Amino acid sequence: MDKRIFVVVAVIAIVFGFAYLTYQPNSNCSLTLDTKVCSDVPLTELQKWWDIYLFQPAGKAELYCGLELASLARISEEGKKIRIESGDTGIYITKNEASIKGSTDAELLKTCHVFSCIMTDLNCSVKMERARDIALNLNPINLVMDEELTGRGLEGMLAIYYALGAINAQTNAPIHSYIMNGENCSILTILNESGLTMVSTNKTFSCDIPGFYLKYGSENAIIIDDKKVLIIGDDDHIYAGSIIVRDILAPDLRERLNKLTIPTGDFINAATPQE
C-alpha cells in the first residue's frame, strides 16, 4: 500500500475511533426526585412532547405506566417514541426518544411517575410515593377540592375519587368529600361522572384536615405535607397531578374499570415500528 494512502487511512481510523470513544449518548446524567435521568436535550424539551408513541408493553407495570402517559399526552404514530422496559433504573432521553426503565415493577412505576412530572412541568415531591401509605392510614379518607375547579381540574378530581375508592375497598374507610372556599369547607356530594353538586347546607368548618387536596395556586406541584397530599396549579396541572397520584394510589385502576381489557387506542400499532 502506498505510504501516503496508509497514513490517510490511519488518520481517519484514529479520528473515528476517538469520536466513538468520546461520544456517549445520554452522557448528561443527574438525579431528579432521587431518580437517575440521563438526557441529550434539556429536560424542558419534554414539555413539548404533546404527541407520543408507546411501544407494546411487555408486562403489567409497563402497561400501567403506558396508560398513565396516555392520559397525559396524545397518542400518535408520529409522536416521540417512548420505551417502557425492564433495565437499569432511570430515564434515558435522546432528541426523539425516551426509555423509562426499572429493575423491579415498583422501580419502573416510580420512574414512570418521575417522567410524568418532568413531561407535565410539575414540581413533584420526592416523597410523592407516600400518597398511597397516607390514604391507607386515613379514616375517614378526606377529599377536598377548590370550589372554582372546572374542566380538566374536575376530571382530575374524579380520577382521584375513583382511586380512593380502590383504597376504600381495602380499608373500608369512608370517603368524605368537601368543597373549599378559602380556609372554609362545606360537604360535597359526588353524583356521577357528569357532575358534582354541593349539599344544601350552611354549615362550614376549617379545611385543616388530613386528606387529599386539589386547589388552585401559582405553583404547579404535588406536595406531601405530613398527612396531606396537595395537588396545586391551574386546571391542566391539577389534572396532570391527579393522574400521577391516581396511579400511585391504584396503578391497576384503569384495568379494573375496564374489566381486565385494554381500552382501544391507548396503544398504537402493537408491533414495533420500523427504525
pLDDT at 19: 37
Give a yes or no: residue 51 inside a domain. Answer: yes
Domain count, the chain: 2
The residues, ordered by sequence, that sit 6+ positions from 156 with a Cβ below 8 Å of its Cβ are 214, 231, 238, 239, 240, 241, 242, 243
Give a yes or no: residue 20 inside a domain. Answer: no
Same domain assignment for residues 33 and 136: no
Query: CA 139, CA 251: separation in Å to the nearest integer?
Result: 22
Give a yes or no: residue 272 inside a domain. Answer: no
Query: CA 89, CA 92: separation in Å to the nearest integer?
Result: 10
Per the structure, the complete domain to which residue 40 belongs is given by 29-121
What SS3 class is residue 180? strand
Same domain assignment for residues 133 and 233: yes
Query: CA 145, CA 167: separation in Å to the nearest integer?
Result: 19
Q: Which of 121, 143, 159 is the last residue of a domain?
A: 121
How far from 94 is each of 1, 5, 58, 208, CA to CA, in Å?
A: 42, 37, 22, 44
Q: How big, in percent rounded to 5, are the helix, strand and coil portions of the chain?
A: 40, 30, 35
Q: Which of 121, 155, 180 is the last residue of a domain?
A: 121
Query: CA 160, CA 249: separation in Å to the nearest integer?
Result: 8
Sign of the torsion formed by the C-alpha atoms of 69, 73, 78 and 80? negative
The residues, ordered by sequence, that sit 6+ positions from 103 with a Cβ below 8 Å of its Cβ are 86, 87, 88, 89
Give the bridge partners for 100, in sequence order. 84, 91
Same domain assignment for residues 195 and 213: yes
Closest alpha carbon to 128 in 144, 152, 112, 142: 112
Same domain assignment for residues 133 and 107: no
Residue with cell 368524605: 176
Same domain assignment for residues 116 and 134: no
Give a yes or no: residue 268 inside a domain. Answer: no
Query: CA 48, CA 53: separation in Å to the nearest integer?
Result: 14
Q: Which of 121, 147, 180 is the last residue of a domain?
A: 121
Give a yes or no: residue 275 inside a domain. Answer: no
pLDDT at 9: 40
Helix (H) or strand (E) holding 2: none
Same domain assignment for residues 152 and 248: yes
Same domain assignment for residues 38 and 115: yes
Give a yes or no: residue 72 inside a domain. Answer: yes
Give a yes or no: residue 19 inside a domain. Answer: no
Same domain assignment for residues 58 and 92: yes
Same domain assignment for residues 145 and 232: yes
Same domain assignment for residues 80 and 190: no
pLDDT at 183: 85
Sign of the torsion formed by the C-alpha atoms of 260, 239, 172 and 137? positive
Same domain assignment for residues 228 and 178: yes
Same domain assignment for residues 79 and 149: no
Query: CA 49, CA 237: separation in Å to the nearest integer?
Result: 15
Spell out the per-residue pLDDT of the chain, length 275, in tens.
Answer: 555 544 444 444 443 443 333 334 555 899 999 999 999 999 999 999 999 999 999 999 999 999 999 999 999 999 999 999 999 999 999 999 999 999 999 999 999 999 999 999 999 999 999 999 999 999 999 999 998 888 999 999 999 999 999 999 999 999 999 999 888 888 876 554 445 554 445 678 888 999 999 999 999 999 999 999 999 999 999 999 999 999 999 998 876 666 544 433 333 333 333 33
Give a yes or no: residue 43 inside a domain. Answer: yes
Residue type at 271 in one-letter notation: A
